[in-house]
């Protein structure tokens, strides 16, 4: 499964470039199905989740070719409308293909995204919204069968601003008859990127990035070239690596405007943040200050995806930090492992109380999900001695060659295959 072996204690210093955003690439790759033409997507990170998305595209009949960080997706010969169970199981976010497939082919079959890592992750909001667009949905034997004679624009109110559901509606409605209005839409930067991609393809999408998105259906979409936005969660993780080690980390290509809540938390912990024209620089104090309550929220609130890396920082800060995880109910799996490294964390339901300790100590730990794995990596960098982190496959879902980036900042880190 692969391990990271980290000798902690090095103060990180240096500059790296931020990779493209995983959560923007995935829906944009799904959107390439819509136009039946050739698309060039640049700044695509090398991630296992991206590889799995390519597998889905190929299973639908698209041709995908990688040239460095660019993916060339030709969907002209796509004809499949079914995503096999093993592909759905590998990556639950494959559900965002549903809207694109039904819009192109008038039918789609996907297996229910089963299992659970960070929480229940239901898809009721996706299905309810798609039904409002005129799609007939039947669930049988663990599969979802969708058919539509024609898609018709609708007013759709989301009970919760779900990122995936907002994306699915945008994908399904951009060639529907008439106008679709999404209220209480998700406002994440990745939604803005999807909106930009669709608009550039010829779709009429307004308001992406606000809580009301209006989509006027068009007849035809065209193949285009598009550059993916930088990954704000990865950027914050590498800044956190600087913060955890009392270091100074500079990022090229980060978008500070997408990172307000996280940058404000770094500042509250005593870090200096400088936003220069093309650089974002964090200089950490010798000892981090604790945060007040950290409540995860939809954008522009504090992202659930960075909760666990900040929990590592809180573990070595002076004082006590309270975390309230409001998005996913099972996102404290890293706590047990951080505790093995000497952290003082008590969890009660969605609340975690973290009392800062003087130091963490290296231990053998196991990554149990993507961001939890990143949190353990940060803990290992800050800890005395050696830490071995098992299950790097989770980290590889979202961080392109994390050991290369951290080594470039001066970390003593290596990967083994067993």
Show which residues are catalytic. 116
Nearer to ligand UD1, 60 or 186 (CB): 186
Give the residue among 71, 72, 115 at the shortest CA–CA distance from 92: 115
Distance (Å, whole) CA 316 – CA 338? 11
Nearer to ligand UD1, 188 or 390 (CB): 188
Look up residue 237 and give its two tokens: 């993780």
- Kind of pairing, strands 38-42 and 143-147? unpaired
Closest approach of ligand UD1 to the CB of residue 111, in Å = 16
Nearer to ligand UD1, 123 or 382 (CB): 123
Nearer to ligand UD1, 186 or 311 (CB): 186
Give contact residues for ligand UD1 (rule: CB under 6 A). Answer: 23, 26, 93, 119-126, 160, 162-165, 186, 190, 304-305, 327-328
Kindly tell me the burial class for residue 61, based on how many C-beta atoms sit within 10 Å of its own C-beta (0-12, 13-18, 19 or more).
middle
SS3 for 305-363 is: HHHHHHHHHHHCCECEEEEECCCCCCCCCHHHHHHHCCCEEEEECCEEEEECCCCCECC
Grouping H, G, I as helix, E, B as strand and the rest as coil, residue 130 is helix
**Sign of the alpha-carbon dihedral angle for 120, 121, 127, 128:** positive
Neighbours of 386 (CB within 10 A): 15
Closest approach of ligand UD1 to the CB of residue 270, in Å = 27
Closest approach of ligand UD1 to the CB of residue 162, in Å = 3
Closest approach of ligand UD1 to the CB of residue 284, in Å = 26
Closest approach of ligand UD1 to the CB of residue 186, in Å = 6
Look up residue 171 and give its two tokens: 């994908």
Nearer to ligand UD1, 167 or 337 (CB): 167
């Amino acid at each position: 499964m692969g391990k990271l072996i980290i000798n902690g204690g090095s103060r990180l210093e240096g500059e790296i470039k931020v990779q493209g955003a995983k959560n923007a690439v995935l829906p944009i790759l799904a959107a390439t199905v819509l136009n039946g033409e050739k698309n060039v997507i640049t700044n695509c990170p090398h991630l296992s989740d991206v590889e799995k998305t390519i597998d889905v595209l190929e299973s639908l009949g698209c041709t995908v070719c990688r040239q460095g960080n660019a993916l060339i997706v030709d969907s002209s010969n796509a004809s499949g409308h079914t995503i096999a169970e093993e592909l759905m199981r590998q990556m639950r976010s494959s559900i965002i293909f549903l809207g694109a497939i039904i819009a192109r082919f008038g039918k789609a079959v996907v297996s229910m995204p089963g299992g659970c890592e960070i929480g229940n992750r239901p898809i009721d909001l996706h299905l309810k919204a798609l039904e409002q667009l005129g799609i007939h949905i039947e669930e049988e034997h663990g599969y979802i069968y969708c058919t539509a004679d024609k898609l018709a624009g609708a007013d759709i109110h989301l009970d919760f601003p779900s990122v995936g559901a907002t994306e699915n509606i945008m994908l399904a409605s951009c060639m529907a008859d008439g106008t679709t209005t999404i209220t209480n839409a998700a406002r994440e930067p990745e939604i803005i990127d999807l909106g930009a991609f669709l608009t550039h393809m010829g779709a009429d999408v307004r308001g992406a990035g606000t809580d009301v998105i209006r989509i006027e259906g068009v007849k035809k979409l065209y193949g285009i070239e598009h550059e993916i936005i930088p990954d704000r969660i990865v950027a914050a993780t590498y800044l956190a690596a600087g913060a955890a080690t009392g270091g100074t980390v500079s990022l090229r290509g980060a978008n500070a405007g997408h990172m307000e809540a996280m940058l404000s938390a770094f500042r509250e912990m005593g870090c200096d943040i400088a936003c220069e024209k093309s650089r974002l620089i964090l200089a950490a104090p010798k000892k981090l200050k604790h945060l007040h309550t950290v409540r995860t929220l939809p954008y522009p609130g504090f992202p659930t995806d960075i909760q666990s890396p900040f929990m590592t920082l809180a573990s070595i800060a002076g004082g006590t930090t309270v975390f309230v995880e409001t998005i996913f109910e099972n996102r404290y799996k890293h706590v047990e492992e951080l505790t093995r490294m000497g952290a003082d964390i008590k969890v009660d339901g969605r609340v975690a109380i973290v009392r800062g300790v003087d130091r963490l100590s290296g231990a053998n730990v196991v990554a149990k999900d993507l961001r939890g794995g990143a949190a353990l990596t940060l803990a290992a960098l800050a800890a005395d001695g050696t830490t071995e982190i098992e299950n790097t496959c989770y980290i590889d879902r979202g961080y392109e060659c994390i050991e290369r980036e951290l080594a470039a900042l001066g970390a003593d880190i290596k990967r083994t295959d067993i």
